[in-house]
Structure 1
Amino acid sequence: MESRNIDLNADLGEGFGRWHLTEDEALLSVVTSANVACGFHAGDPLTMRRVCAWAAERGVRIGAQVSYRDLAGFGRRSMDVPAAELAAEVAYQIGALRVFAQAAGAQVAYVKPHGALYNRAVHDDGQAAAVVEGVLLAGGGLPVLGLPGSRLHAHASGAGLPVVAEAFADRAYTAAGTLVPRTQEGAVVSGGDAVVERAVRMATAGEVTALTGERVEVRARSLCLHGDTAGAVELARRVRGALESAGVRVEPFA
């Protein structure tokens, strides 16, 4: 079996005030990259500061998880945001997180859209271009983490930004290689054994089985584990252990 390298990323900092959704400190002992909520779908200044400090202590790369302005819907409702407004909001979120990353002695190392914005930017040229404009506005030439073959990656590459292909062990795929919408039954893969098996198969064979049974090629440098899944910490540990047992080196992409 060919040895490969893979990054493990998780969505972290997804709380607000007294509400906490993700076990940030525990997950940061497992993952190699942290997609930190920047306040638009979840997250607040103190949560962002804490997660950045914990990530820096553990050598975990910090990424800005930018979103539509949708706290009530957790960023999972698609919105028609004018391009100039969306670009400014993306830059705003990156800038906010950068303050806390730098205070922790680290830096924002990449950008990843969240939820509805992530899925919209797969096929919507206007929204994808606006996200890229926001990344450029924030400065630094940050890598963009997203679905391979997406319009987001096409626009990012065209603007000279590095792109990083991502896969999801706990989400179902269509035959076209996109994610099955969460509104559809079977969109989220249940069962730890299934998630672990899919993670290893993605990292070693570069493939996954679609919800409808087709073999789908998945060439990814980063593997996402959702931090809001029940038992997320133990599942992340299992996934990492299985990857390493399969000869996969788990390390940051950035």
Structure 2
Amino acid sequence: MAVRIDLNCDLGEELDAWEAGVDGLDMLLLDVVTSANVACGYHAGDERIMAAVCRAAAARGVAVGAHVSYLDREHFGRRFLDVPADELRAQVTQQVAVLAAIALREGTRVAYVKPHGALYNAVVHHQEHARSVMEGVGDLPVLGLPGSAVLEIAARTGRRAVAEAFADRGYRSDGTLVPRSEPGALVTDADEVAARVVRLAQHGVVRAVDGSDVRVVAESVCVHSDTPGAAVLARSVRAALERDGVAVAPFTGPGA
């Protein structure tokens, strides 16, 4: 299957990691990943953190994406909110615009958009919210779950739709993710995670929690920064991919 794949991570979500003089987990992950999904303040982060992540990403040649969310810092963006379509569209536009201005000052640019948490899950099937997200991102590529409504709308309207897989999340037999509240939601063994990503990149399949193989063809693979041992997992995944001849590079970069 893939001879090239992107490795992305959700970053800028922890305040303490960006205290002066402290190299936090985000810095370790930025040394490994090729795309950074930067929290835009609605579920986590602030302008100081956005600037720090963009600056570090620019120095490493890591692509920057806007990690947009429902306005829900209290629940870290992991609660569905029945936001009116025009309001959600405006919120997405605002998040992208804020990060875009900061990225420009720090020597980089917003290259794509990825919804976060409950919004990510909602736009798999919620047509109205999926349309609002697409109307709010302008011409930017959108990263999402294969077969999701948001990617279908993107493709139908001439925008780039980028399918994403997850290194550290369990899959159901229908290709959706196991909810975090259920057993099997997280995969944390470094060797297992690396092997499943290599298999996904080369053969387009991933093992589901019921033991079946699920067809998942993706241009990008996500390692969550809040998964236990995230930096070790990311390093293991990248090393295994490169060892097996899969190029690891941003999906927004040259040749993509």
TM range (shorter): over 0.9
Residue 197 of structure 1 corresponds to: 195
> Is the partner of 1:129 in helix, strand or coil?
helix
Residue 155 of structure 1 corresponds to: 153
| Higher mean C-alpha deviation, range 188-197 or range 55-64 | 188-197
> Is the partner of 2:137 in helix, strand or coil?
helix
1:245 partnered with 2:247: no
Letter in 2 for 1:48: M
Residue 21 of structure 2 corresponds to: none
Match of 1:146 among 139, 144, 150: 144
Contact 2:34 2:62 in 1 (8 A): yes
Number of equivalenced pairs: 247
Residue 98 of structure 1 corresponds to: 100
Match of 1:76 among 75, 78, 90: 78
Residue 15 of structure 1 corresponds to: 14
| Higher mean C-alpha deviation, range 89-98 or range 3-12 | 3-12
- State the alpha-carbon separation in 1 of the partners of residues 181 and 224 from structure 2: 17
Alignment deviations for residues 82-114 of structure 1 (CA, whole Å, 9 cap, x no partner)? 111100000000001001110012110000000
Alignment deviations for residues 113-152 of structure 1 (CA, whole Å, 9 cap, x no partner)? 001100110011111111111112xxxx100001111001
Deviation, 1:160, is 1.7
- State the alpha-carbon separation in 2 of the partners of residues 3 and 217 from structure 1: 14
Residue 62 of structure 1 corresponds to: 64
Deviation, 1:209, is 1.2
Q: Residues 1-254 of structure 1 correspond to what in structure 2 (within 5 A)?
A: 4-16=3-15, 18=16, 23-136=25-138, 141-254=139-252
Contact 1:3 1:247 in 2 (8 A): no
- Where do 5+ consecutive residues of structure 2 fail to align? 19-23
> Is the partner of 1:219 in helix, strand or coil?
coil
Contact 2:5 2:251 in 1 (8 A): yes
- Where do 5+ consecutive residues of structure 1 fail to align? none
TM-align CA RMSD: 1.3
TM-score by length of 1: 0.94
Letter in 2 for 1:5: R
- State the alpha-carbon separation in 2 of the partners of residues 188 and 228 from structure 1: 11
Question: Is the alpha carbon distance of 1:224 and 1:3 closer, same or farther for their aligned partners in structure 2, counting shifts above 3 Å?
Answer: closer
TM-score by length of 2: 0.93
Contact 1:42 1:74 in 2 (8 A): yes
Letter in 1 for 2:237: V
